[in-house]
Amino acid sequence: MSAADLTPGLRTGLSTGVPTSPVARPLRHISTRFLRSELALIFGRRRNQAGLGILALVPIMIAVTVKVSTPRAGRGPDFFTSITSNGLFVALAALSIELTLFLPLAVAVIAGDSVAGEANIGTLRYLLTVPVHRSRLLGVKFAAITIFSLVVTVWVSLVGAVAGLALFGGGQMTTLSGTEIGMGSAVLRVLMATIYLGLCFASLGAIGLFISTMTEQPIGATIAVVVINVMSFILDSIPQLSWMHEWLPTHWWMSFGDFLRSPVAWSDVTRGLLTSAGYMLVFWLAAWARFSDKDVSG
Amino acid sequence: MTADVTGEPGDFAVATEGLTKRFHQQVAVNAVDLLVPRGAVYGFLGPNGSGKTTTIRMLLGLIRPTAGRHRLLGMTMPERAGDVLPLVGSLVEGPAFHPYLSARANLVRLDCVDRHADPRTTRVRIDGALDRVGLLAAADKKYRAYSLGMRQRLAIAGALLAPRELLVLDEPTNGLDPQGTREVRHLIGSLAEDGATVLVSSHLLSEVEQVCTHIGVMHVGRLLTQGPIEQVRAVGEARARVVTDRPQEAARVLRRLGLTEVALETGLATGTLGTLAPEKVVVALVQDGVPVSGFSVERPSLEDLFVSLTGEGFNVSG
């Protein structure tokens, strides 16, 4: 109890019988507490920690396998054959393998859980009565999804880089265009490619946030996001549907290799960033339209 | 038969007008005019499924009314939710927390999302709230390991993280043992002493009867009656009950005094008092030489009242 509560005579508005502002609890305009709490929930959860561990296995497996055998050329940007020349390519190889399912799945789990998970265990009603404004809730949830996407992508990349550098060493890097760049520049290129992918996954997370507002079953939302992800890859591989390819959420993801060209081939990654931003905007607004006056009765 | 309540909107902690919620074909809450005066402990009664929780959800802005409007602490909802809800502590449809977090971590979570909360006092406020519900010793246990009664207490602690003007407690004694129920009743009393208005819902009449100043009775989505508890109870009329070995003579006196529905049983005469003062009955009986070995005035219990209002028992209506 504050002093104002113990001495009613000091309360403002008493003369009218209507205390207009009875508590000494000023609004804190700028606070990152909610976002930090959200991140603590995500990264503090055992399930998610285990997921990060599994995601880290891929680059380690790649590095070890390549070390003990001679790789042949694979699909996508061909990072595998370059690994022995510079360990940083392990990061890129791991990203190219994980971007079709593992990383989108990780983002889908977090995004699917974002609102539906709170609704499922009932904590959503207690957040809303604190009160948390519904727009703010969606804003913070989406910020957390985006940060998670970036962190998880950087994590895979980092583990790959460390494992690769440990087993194959660093030094000069031969770009996909065949030119040589210095180690510092190479690290920067890999970092840019990683952040690019992280933002791409966050756009899938926006779709997940929207779906998460429509159900009280987080698993259902997660599965829906994974289905959308896989469908997008399938549609992208059907030549007869080429007219829609550039609009698919996953279409520009593979372009992350363009950061490893010399000079950086900006046109596709720019399209990729714009497409991601478009998906984020559209689906955040859809989530807001859906959630802002939804009945919360779980 | 809503008891007469008048006053300015600001005099009421809760005031609703024609609040209605329709789910598809079913009308869950039907034109409810709830009036909770400031400072009252308002018992919101009704069997399971009578619309109490739906009403509370509408009060707090969790669900949108199909029709009607309401104010909390004089402020229009949901427009002013951001101003008024920080002053309202609530427990809605049972406790809900993150199972893999400790009780304390769960309260920290609630405090983190509150833009009015001062992070420097979080620890003190959380300890205070946990202490008030008797959970301080179990604060670091995982919520998953909590019993239903402990969970219920934790939810009440969550409502007490900040000073509140109004507490909305939906079935706060669910899952509590008799001792826990007593403690919650005591807690409600002490919150009211601190000046808070308490709206407490229950499907157990007797549980709430003792602590409330006002009651409202819901039945199949309608608010059947509300008002100060004596006023509501006075609706059911008091009966005088005379224990005597000469009930015939006693009955004659009761009739002469104007009591109605006079009835005779072995060693007992009863009659409805009406406006007559009970002491006059005793004087008259003694003057007429009727040997009175016992005299009492019985008012109907809330349960009797409920039966007389609805024509049915305090059971779930379909």
Across A26-35, A229-238, B177-186, least confident range: A26-35
Quick: pLDDT tens for A172-217.
888 888 888 999 999 999 999 999 999 999 999 999 999 999 999 9
Nearest to B250 by CA among B213, B289, B276: B289
Annotated domain spans of chain A: 31-291
A196 or B2, which is more confident: A196
How far is A221 from B152, CA to CA, in rounded Å?
A: 29
Q: How many CB pairs under 8 A join A and B?
A: 113
The shortest CB-CB distance from A131 to any of B57, B81, B94 is to B81
CB contact under 8 A, A18 and B88: no
Asked if the model's pLDDT at residue A157 lies above 70, the reply is yes
In A, residues 17-56, which contact B (CB 8 Å cutoff)? 17-19, 22-23, 25-29, 31, 33-34, 36-37, 41, 45-46
Across A70-84, A209-223, A233-247, least confident range: A70-84
Quick: pLDDT tens for B218-230.
888 998 888 888 7
B136 Cβ under 8 Å from any chain A Cβ:
no
Nearest to A244 by CA among A236, A255, A234: A236
A141 close to A115: Cβ distance less than 8 angstroms:
yes
Q: What integer is the mean pLDDT of A252-280? A: 93
Structure tokens at A294: 């939804």
How far is B208 from A173, CA to CA, in rounded Å?
A: 77
Residues forming a β-bridge with B19:
B32
pLDDT at A117: 95
Residue of B109, B125, B199 for testing the chain A interface, max A β-carbons within 10 Å: B109
End-to-end distance of chain B based on CA atoms, in angstroms?
A: 24
On average, the pLDDT of chain A sits at: 87
pLDDT at B25: 84
Peptide bond into B78 cis (omega under 30): yes
pLDDT tier, A13 (very low <50, low <70, confident <90, very high otherwise): very low
Annotated domain spans of chain B: 9-234, 239-298
Peptide bond into A218 cis (omega under 30): no
CATH architecture of B9-234: 3-Layer(aba) Sandwich (3.40)
On average, the pLDDT of chain B sits at: 85
Cα torsion through A217, B110, A23, B202, rounded to 10: 60
pLDDT at A2: 39
Across A239-253, B129-143, B169-183, B295-309, least confident range: B295-309
Asked if the model's pLDDT at residue B101 lies above 80, the reply is yes
Class of domain B239-298: alpha beta
Q: What integer is the mean pLDDT of A255-277? A: 93
pLDDT at A298: 61
Asked if the model's pLDDT at residue A11 lies above 50, the reply is no
**ipTM of the complex in this document:** 0.83
pLDDT at B181: 86
